[in-house]
Amino acid sequence: MTDREVDERLQRALLDALRDEWEETPADETPLSARQQRRMQAMLRDPNGYCRKKSRPVWKRAARTAASFFLVCTVSLTLLLAVSPGIRAEVLRWAREVRDGGVFYRFAGEDMEPDGLRYTIVKLPDGYVKTDDRTEERGFFRVSYRNDLGQEIVLSCADSAKGVVLEPEGRGPAEDVAFTHLTGRLYPALDPSGTSALVWEDQEEQAWFMIEAPVDRETLEDMAIWVFPELPRYRLSELPAGVVPWETPMQESPSSVHLMYVDENDYFFSLSWSYMRQGSGMGVFSSSGGELHSKDVTVNGMSGQYYWSDDPGESVCVVWVDEEENLMFTLDGMVSKAELLRLAAGVVPVD
Partner 1 sequence: MLPIFIGLLEDAEDQRAFAELYQRYYGRMAAVAARYFPEDPQEAEDALHNAFLQVIRHFEKVSSLSCDVLPFWLVSIVKNESITLLRRRRRVVPLEDWSAFEQAAEDGELGARTVAEVIRAMPETYRAALELRFLEERSEREIARALDLSVSAVKSRISRGRALLVKRLQEEGITP
Residue 194 Cβ, how far from partner 1 at the closest point, in Å? 36
CA distances from 6 to 2, 9, 11, 17 (A): 6, 5, 9, 17
First to last CA, the chain: 72
Q: Which positions from 102 through 161 interact with partner 1, judged by CB under 8 A? A: 102, 104
Residue 238 Cβ, how far from partner 1 at the closest point, in Å? 22
By beta-carbon proximity to partner 1, the closer residue of 39 and 162 is 39
Q: Stretches 190-198, 221-229, 241-249, 253-261: which one binds partner 1 (CB under 8 A)?
A: 253-261
d(CA 165, CA 208): 8
Q: Stretches 17-25, 89-97, 124-132, 214-222: which one binds partner 1 (CB under 8 A)?
A: 17-25
Residue 33 Cβ, how far from partner 1 at the closest point, in Å? 6
Query: For the stretch 105-135, what's the b/e string if a residue is b when 16 or more beta carbons lie within 10 angstroms of its beta carbon?
Result: bbbbeeeeeeeebebbbbebbeebeeeeeee
Q: Which positions from 163 through 202 interact with partner 1, judged by CB under 8 A? A: none
Among 77, 80, 302, 345, which residue interacts with partner 1 (rule: CB under 8 A)?
Answer: 77
Q: Which positions from 297 through 326 interact with partner 1, judged by CB under 8 A? A: 307-309, 314-317, 319
Q: Is 21 in the site for partner 1 (CB under 8 A)?
A: yes
DSSP 254: T
Residue 23 Cβ, how far from partner 1 at the closest point, in Å? 10
Q: Which positions from 264 through 293 interact with partner 1, judged by CB under 8 A? A: 272, 274, 277-287, 289
Chain-centroid distance of CA 115 in Å reads 22
Query: For the stretch 177-197, what's the b/e string if a residue is b when 16 or more beta carbons lie within 10 angstroms of its beta carbon?
Result: bebeebebbbbbbeeeeebbb
Q: Is 328 in the site for partner 1 (CB under 8 A)?
A: yes
Q: What does residue 319 show for φ and ψ, rounded to 5 degrees?
A: -125, 130
Chain-centroid distance of CA 190 in Å reads 36
# residues near partner 1 by CB under 8 A: 90
